[in-house]
Structure 1
Amino acid sequence: MNKRRKFIQMSAVLGAGAFLPLQFCNTKKEESTGTEAVIGATSGILDDFGIQLYSVKENMAEDPVATIRAMASFGYTQLEGFDGGKGIFWGMSHTEFKSLMDDLGVDFIASHANTFQNLDELAEKAGAIGMKYLICPWVGPQKSMDDYKRLADEFNKQGEICKQHGLRFAYHNHGYTFEELDGQIPQDYLMQNTDPDLVDYEMDTYWVYTAGKDPISYIKKYPNRFVLGHVKDKSGDLPFEEPNGSTLIGKGIMDFPSILRAGMDNGMKYYIVEQERFDGTDPMEAAKINAAYMKSLVF
């Protein structure tokens, strides 16, 4: 039985707020029954978790292969890419990139990309190596809801192209889609006017939170639509309105145990670490610390 199925069993036993740090769980009481036995049988929240390589963008620009090898050594089993100027395969062919992933035992599940240009060609290559998603990471604030209506139509079209090549399309939010425009919340409009068979969403939990919204409420409002999630914490040492305020996961003010619990209950499948501000911590060291945090949480 994998950990996700164990989670479903545990949720019925433990109820809300059942996340505990690893050190508080007794994993040696094999004779125990009931709740203790269920907790003891679990070694972590997730079987797999990933990192958005933008978190180590300078290292990727310098030596992508060495950087990716380091991510694998830290315990990340999934990678989400971005186009750093050399394409999403970092100067390699898609099959060469796939071979590197296979050698490391890592899944290249998704990449942020310019989905408005050459999508058919990119989707063909991504699908051929078993990627799950191509993700539109940015559209920028729009002037009116008519612009978002056009984007919803465009996302459906992009989703159809991705589907034809055996993968899926998703949109990654920033804060601006959660800010009222023409009496509406653009994020709600996009989610209600895109085809669930063609379009998924990647919730950047940080941007939802800093826009003054509750990530958990949105996850529950749209079950099975936020299939991917960015795990990015908000520093409590900076003004709340500071846009560049991410920090080490678990060191900020966001309640990730509850957020991840809601995600797992409502169809979120991929949990991807991202950090963009480091406050003196080396990005590679931060990636290592964040991986340890993700591995330390248990139910």
Structure 2
Amino acid sequence: MRLTLILAITLYFLPHVNAKKVEKNIGIQLWSVRDDMKADAEGTIMKLGEIGYSFVEAAGYGDGKFYGMEPLAFKKLLNDNGLQFTASHCGQALPDEANWEKVMQWWDQCIDAHAEAGVQYIVQPFMDKKGYGSLEDLKRYCDYFNVIGEKCNAKGIRFGYHNHDKEFEEVDGIIRYDYMLQNTDPEKVMFQLDLYWIMVGEKDALSYFKKYPKRFELWHVKDEKELGESGKMDFEPIFKKASKSGMKEIIVEVERYNYEPLKSVEKSLEFLMNARYVK
């Protein structure tokens, strides 16, 4: 009887003892470790894989290459270290009529390189001063983004725009970010919402999810420094509305640090891994 009871208790607890840790699909924006990437790209990628990130968002595209590597070579480096090449930050400012064709040629090469590498998302993370000027110029930016989005669609890539805080300022009584959401085609342009910068811009992510559902396919999960460091970011209610927002991927970005950058991104990943609301 005693042996049976011991066996029963052992069998009850065994699955819990041997349960595999639940993995989460979380990406890292490589701008977070930009100096490390310049100094030792291969070693940095190896470390990010060891830390436990699932994929990367690049910030080092130029002349058909990523961090000086051909598309397939960079993809192989990532894959060899357990990482996927999911997204990439790059772009060009709004061209005028005189250099329109030159900029379109740049985009064609850019999109081809990303398609070769298997990238799913290209995100432009900036506008020049025209984007923060008149509504007429902002409308030109929206039209331009629609054109680039159509080009990306043709190669099986989603195009999007990444915000900072200035997009939440008003021009002629209209919030720039709202204007962009209203004047870009959802079939051609998605938005990568930076959860920290919308807070700095004194706007509420949840209200945007309600007003513009399914437009925010990528999130930048960010704090002032490491995730959870400032006490200002309440991520839980935002994550609870992930489906409403249309979120498909979350990407950590750290731009200021209490530690060395690789340690900071490791601590930020640990924060999300330990957060029950992050699935």
TM-score by length of structure 1 reads 0.77
Whole-angstrom distance in 2 between the partners of 1:153 and 1:84: 24
Residue in structure 1 matching 2:145, options 151, 155, 166: 155
Q: Which secondary structure does the structure 2 equivalent of 1:161 belong to?
A: helix
Instruction: Give the alignment partner of residue 186 of structure 1, picking from 176, 182, 187.
Output: 176
List aligned pairs for 1:187-226, cutoff 5 A. 187-226=177-216
Q: Give the aligned partner of residue 269 of structure 1.
A: 248
Report the counterpart of residue 172 of structure 1 in structure 2: 162
Equivalent in 227, 235, 249 of residue 256 of structure 1? 235
Q: C-alpha displacement at 1:140, in angstroms?
A: 3.8
Give the structure 1 partner of residue 100 of structure 2.
none
Task: Give aligned-pair identity as a percent.
Answer: 38
Contact in 1 for aligned 2:64/2:71 (Cα 8 Å): no
Question: How far has the Cα of 1:224 moved from its partner?
Answer: 1.2
Residues 1:277 and 1:29: Cα distance change in structure 2 (over 3 Å): farther
The answer on whether the counterparts of 2:214 and 2:244 sit within 8 Å (CA) in structure 1 is no
Letter of the 1:94 partner, please give it. Answer: P
**More relative contact order in 1 or in 2 (CA 8 Å, sep 6+)?**
1
Q: How far apart in 2 are the matches of 1:88 and 1:175? A: 30
Show the counterpart of 1:289. 267
Compute the displacement of 1:177 (Å). 1.0
Structure 2 counterpart SS, 1:247: coil
State whether residues 209 and 244 of structure 2, in contact with CA within 8 Å, keep that contact through their aligned partners in structure 1: no
2:59 to 82, 91, 95: 82
Amino acid at match of 2:203: K
- Label 1:179 to 1:143 Cα distance change in 2 as closer, same or farther (>3 A): same
* CA positional deviation for 1:42: 11
TM-score by length of 2: 0.83
Query: Partners in 1 of 2:85 and 2:48 — Cα distance?
Result: 12
Match of 2:85 in 1: 108
Query: Any runs of at least 4 consecutive aligned residues in structure 1 with deviations exceeding 6 A, and if so which?
Result: 84-87
Please, what is the CA RMSD of the aligned residues? 2.2
Query: Which structure has the larger Rg?
Result: 2
Aligned to 1:62: 39
Residue in structure 2 matched with residue 33 of structure 1 by the alignment = none
Q: Give the Cα–Cα distance (whole angstroms) in 2 for the partners of residues 185 and 225 of structure 1.
A: 17
Between the aligned partners of 1:69 and 1:56, the Cα distance in structure 2 is 13
Does residue 126 (structure 1) correspond to residue 126 (structure 2)? The answer is: no
- TM-aligned CA distance change 1:205 to 1:269, over 3 Å: same
Q: Is the 8 A contact 1:80 1:112 kept in 2?
A: yes
Cα–Cα, structure 1 residues 99 and 225, in superposed 2: closer, same or farther, change >3 Å?
Answer: same
Q: Check conservation: 2:26, 2:249, Cα contact below 8 A.
A: yes
Q: Name whichever of 222-231 and 140-149 sits farther off.
A: 140-149
Cα distance in 1, alignment partners of residues 215 and 244 from structure 2: 12
Structure 2: 5+ residue stretches without partners: 1-10, 14-18, 94-102
The alignment of Structure 1 onto Structure 2 pairs a total of residues equal to 248
Q: Which amino acid aligns with 1:108?
A: F
